């Protein structure tokens, strides 16, 4: 397809401010295609890198230890991420996560979760972040996610929350409380079942929606994502890819693309969320093609427009 035909999928950037919180971490990953030592990871890292392709007004609140290399922070800054809200704790260690993927790459086992600095994280919102219009509560302690909602004086136009089974296991009550304060929840299919106690996904979605979020996104890995609210439903497929090396961060990259697109268009209607989950899925498709954050570092708007056009061709009939 010629570039000119993809042009309609280029983003019109109107620079609404976006605040992301979540982990900034070290990850050690093992997939059937290889193994990494400690590399940069964390939910907020993937969210910020992904969203950086949509908005230039991007702020981060997170915590790392003294062991976190300055060059990684510089890398986020180079991508336009404001790290004024990134706390660096002297004498402490960064959050560390290690995971191993199954042969089919759909499932994974968490081998290690070391909370370290995250255990006592007190999220401080710099004054310059106070007027954020879009808030992405990336995966981390639900209590910290809630504290952030309380510490932002004016309610943002849209609050999106991502979480995972780990927090459903260890902090379910806190999670249920924060769910009442958000607009959009993103979880995967297994997490939707765990949270609702329902096996059928539609029943699970109805029950999760009754817990607070107005809109739910159920991520189904390589099989795409379902967007659902009380009256509407939309399904975005996963793009079949020849090279899938490492799914780590795909969910966060999806979330960063989703909220980044909404912030760049400043439209939170269901119709626009349909487009946003296609942009989120396009970003996630880049993420899984290489290890860690590698593929998210050198994209450009033409490459993203081209991916989105591939999605459009995949479902057009």
CB of 113 to ligand AMP, least distance (A): 5
The distance of closest approach from Cβ of residue 116 to ligand AMP in the complex, given in angstroms and rounded to an integer, is 12
Binding residue (CB under 6 A) for ligand AMP from 58, 73, 140, 147: 140
- 248 touches ligand AMP by CB under 6 A: yes
Burial (CB < 10 A; 0-12, 13-18, 19+), residue 187, is buried
Cβ neighbors of 168 (< 8 A, separation 6 or more) are 175, 191, 194, 195
The residue from 18, 117, 125, 250 that contacts ligand AMP (CB under 6 A) is 250
> Exactly one of 16, 18, 21, 25 binds ligand AMP (CB under 6 A); which one?
25
Q: How many CB atoms lie within 10 A of CB 269?
A: 10
Alpha-carbon distance 213 to 221, whole Å?
21
C-alpha distances in Å from residue 310, one per residue of 39, 153, 240, 282, 306: 30, 41, 10, 9, 6
Tokens of 233: 């439903």
Q: Does 27 bind ligand AMP (CB under 6 A)?
A: yes
- The number of residues that bind ligand AMP (CB under 6 A) is 17
**What does the angle CA 180 – CA 85 – CA 143 come to, to the nearest 5 degrees?**
30
The distance of closest approach from Cβ of residue 250 to ligand AMP in the complex, given in angstroms and rounded to an integer, is 5
Task: Closer to ligand AMP by CB, 65 or 251: give it.
Answer: 251
The CA distances from residue 99 to 24, 32, 155, 189, 309, in Å, are 16, 12, 36, 19, 33
Least separation in angstroms between residue 291's CB and ligand AMP is 12
Residues facing residue 187 across a β-bridge? 218
Residue among 21, 43, 216, 308 that touches ligand AMP (CB under 6 A): 43
Other C-beta atoms closer than 10 Å to the C-beta of 267 total 15
Taking CB under 6 A as the criterion, the residue among 9, 68, 97, 101 binding ligand AMP is 97
113 makes contact with ligand AMP (CB under 6 A):
yes
Interface pattern 143-182 for ligand AMP (x via CB under 6 A) = ---------------------x-x----------------
Give the footprint of ligand AMP on this chain (CB under 6 A).
23, 25, 27, 41-43, 97, 113, 139-140, 164, 166, 248-252
């Amino acid at each position: 397809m010629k570039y000119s035909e993809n042009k309609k999928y280029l983003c019109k950037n109107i620079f609404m401010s976006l605040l992301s919180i979540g982990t900034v971490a070290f990850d050690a990953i093992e997939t059937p295609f290889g193994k990494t030592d400690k590399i940069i990871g964390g939910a907020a890292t993937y969210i910020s890198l992904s969203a950086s392709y949509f908005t230039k007004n991007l702020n981060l609140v997170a915590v790392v230890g003294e062991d976190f290399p300055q060059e990684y922070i510089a890398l986020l800054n180079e991508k336009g991420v404001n790290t004024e809200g990134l706390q660096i704790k002297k004498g402490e260690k960064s959050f560390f996560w290690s995971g191993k993927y199954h042969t089919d790459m759909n499932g994974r086992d968490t081998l290690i979760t070391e909370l370290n600095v995250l255990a006592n994280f007190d999220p401080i919102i710099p004054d310059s972040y106070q007027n954020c219009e879009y808030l992405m509560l990336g995966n981390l302690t639900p209590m910290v996610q809630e504290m952030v909602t309380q510490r932002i004086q004016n309610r943002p136009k849209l609050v999106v929350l991502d979480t995972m089974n780990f927090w459903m296991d260890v902090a379910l009550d806190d999670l249920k409380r924060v769910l009442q304060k958000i607009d959009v929840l993103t979880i995967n299919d297994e997490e939707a079942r765990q949270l609702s106690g329902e096996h059928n996904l539609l029943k699970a979605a109805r029950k999760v929606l009754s817990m607070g979020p107005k809109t739910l996104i159920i991520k189904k890995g390589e099989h795409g994502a379902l967007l659902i609210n009380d009256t509407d439903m939309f399904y975005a497929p996963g793009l079949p890819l020849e090279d899938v090396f490492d799914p780590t961060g795909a969910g966060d990259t999806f979330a960063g693309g989703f909220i980044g697109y909404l912030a760049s268009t400043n439209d939170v209607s269901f119709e626009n969320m349909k487009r946003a989950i296609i942009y989120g899925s396009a970003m996630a498709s880049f993420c899984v093609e290489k290890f860690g954050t590698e593929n998210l570092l050198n994209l450009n708007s033409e490459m993203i427009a081209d991916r989105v056009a591939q999605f459009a061709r995949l479902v057009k009939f």
